[in-house]
Amino acid sequence: MSNHSPLSNDSIAPSSRESGQASDRHPLVRSLKGPAQFLSFWIAIALPFVHLPLLAQGLGDPTVTATFLALLGINVLALYAGHGHNQG
């Protein structure tokens, strides 16, 4: 019993929206993508070192807990935004 499709992924042409997406972007957006990914990548690398002192202090104080959760959320966003950095 096989689940193979008779069509390969190469035979399916991208939709017009997908093929024209890169050319439709504003030049400013294209010029900022690389530096934004670079910065996001390195923020995602550095933020866990900021988490460590907060965890060592303990999360009993609501302010420390809120700060930790905010930094964790920023870290997740930075990971998402910087995941494509240096992939050619």
| Structure confidence by residue, pLDDT tens digits, 65-84 | 999 999 999 999 999 988 77
Q: In Å, how far are 34, 37, 43 from 83, measured between CA atoms? A: 11, 7, 11
| Structure confidence by residue, pLDDT tens digits, 38-74 | 898 899 999 999 999 999 999 899 999 999 999 999 9
Give residue 28's pLDDT: 75
Answer whether residue 14 is part of any domain.
no
Count of domains for the chain: 1
Residue 6 reports pLDDT greater than 90: no
Give the range of the structural domain holding residue 60, as residue numbers without chain letter: 34-88
Q: pTM for the full model?
A: 0.61
Instruction: Compute the distance between CA of residue 62 and CA of residue 68 in angstroms, rounded to an integer.
Output: 10
Answer whether residue 51 is part of any domain.
yes
Answer whether residue 13 is part of any domain.
no
Answer whether residue 11 is part of any domain.
no
Instruction: Compute the distance between CA of residue 78 and CA of residue 43 in angstroms, rounded to an integer.
Output: 6
